[in-house]
Amino acid sequence: MAGAGGVRTSKRKSWRRASDSNDLHRMQGLLALFRWASREEPNFRPRLTSQISRYHGWPVGRRNDAPGPVGVQPKADVRSKQEYDESHVITARRVKKKGDEYLIPESVDLECVKYCVVYDNNSSCLDLILKDDSDNSGSSKNELLARGAAIACGKAIAHLTRHPVQILRGGYESFSAMYHFFRTQKIIWMPQELDEFQAYPVEIVPGRIYLGDFRQACDPKIQKDLKIKAHVNVSMETGPFFVGNADKLLHIQIEDSLEAIISPFLRHLCHFIDIHLELGSVILIFSTLGISRSCAAILAYLMHRNEQTLKKSWEYVKKCKNNVRPNRALVAQLSQWETIVLGGFVTDISVPLC
C-alpha cells in the first residue's frame, strides 16, 4: 500500500519525496502531520519499560502506560552511518537514504504503530530552512527551500502512519546531552536483553520533577541517572534513600484506600517542592504503584504552582502519563484544594476528568 507521495517496493519499504507542488510542503501541512517530541512538550517523555517488544522486526520501546502493540514507539535515526555507529538512542534503527528514497529495515509496518519518533542531529524548528544552491552557476546563488533530514523523512513516513509523526526537537545532540543514559552503540538486541529494560519515572516538570512508583524510588541507577536529590513518598512503605533526612525526604504516610486523607499535607507538600526547586534539586514523587496517591500529590502541586484548575492540571499530567487514577476520595480532596488555590470551585468532579 502506497501513501500519497510514498512508494513502497516489493522487497523493501521506501518513501519518495512528493513533488514541490504538494500542499504538504507548506508549513500548515507540516504542522498537521508532525508533532514535536521534546522535554518541553508534555506529550513526549522518554522512558523505557520492562516490556520492551520486538514488533514486526523492529525493536522498540513500549510506553509504560500503553498496553499491547498500540504503545510501540519506533525511533528512526536519519543521521549518517558514522554518527549512528558512534552512538544512538537505545533501540533506534538507522533509516538509510538512496537518492530521494528513504529505506527502513525490512518487515517494518508503520501502520501498526501509534508513536513514531524521527530524529536527526539538531532539528529545532519545523519551519522550512533557507539554504544556498551550490549547484547553480553564476556569481549569485539562488536560495532554495529545504528541510532538515528528520522533517524530510518524517514527511515521507507520515503518509504511511495513522498518527502524527513525532520529530525530536533539538535532535540527537540535545537529547543525548539531557538523557545520556539512553545512548548506546549496540545495534542488535536479544529478547532477554529487551525484557530486562526497566521503566523510568515520568518527567512532569522537565529535568526537575519526576513521577514514579516505589520500585523506581528504590533503584539506585535511576536515582543516579536522573540526579534525584529529594523524595516525596506518598505511601506506607519506607524507601532506602534519604531515611532520617527530613530536608530531602517528605514521607506522607497514607493508605491506598477511600479512607486516605491527604488534605492536611498539601501545604507542606507544596512548600517542600518549592524549596527544593529553588535549591536546584531534582525531585521524585512516588507511591506504591505511581497511579493514585502520587498522582494526587503532583496534581495538587501543579494547581498551586501554576494557580490553575484541577481539570487543567489533570489534562497536563494525563499527557505525560495515561494511567492517572486518584481514587474518588482523593479527587474530592483535590476539589477542596482548588477552592483554597483559586478561591472557589471551578472543576466539576461529578463528570469524569479522564
Task: Kindly state whether residues 181 and 249 are assigned to the same domain.
Answer: no
Q: Are 270 and 259 in contact (CB under 8 A)?
A: no
Q: For the chain, which residues score pLDDT lower than 70?
A: 1-73, 105-108, 125-147, 354
Let me know if residue 349 belongs to a domain: no
Domain hosting residue 37, numbered range = 14-195
**Where is the domain boundary, 163, 179, 195?**
195
Task: Kindly state whether residues 208 and 183 are assigned to the same domain.
Answer: no
The model carries a pTM of 0.73
pLDDT value at residue 183: 92
pLDDT, one tens digit per residue, over 226-274 is: 999 999 999 999 989 998 888 999 999 999 999 999 999 999 999 999 9
CATH number at residue 101: 3.40.250.10
d(C-alpha 281, C-alpha 229), whole Å: 5
3-state helix, strand, coil in the chain (%, to 5): 35, 20, 45
Domain count across the chain: 2
Task: Kindly state whether residues 92 and 231 are assigned to the same domain.
Answer: no
CATH number at residue 255: 3.90.190.10
pLDDT value at residue 163: 78
For cell 495513522, the residue is: 162
Q: What residues have CB less than 8 Å from 76, skipping those under 6 apart? A: 92, 93, 95, 104, 116, 117, 118, 119, 153, 157
pLDDT value at residue 67: 31
d(C-alpha 241, C-alpha 217), whole Å: 8
Phi, psi (deg, nearest 5) at residue 342? -110, -10
Task: Kindly state whether residues 92 and 172 are assigned to the same domain.
Answer: yes
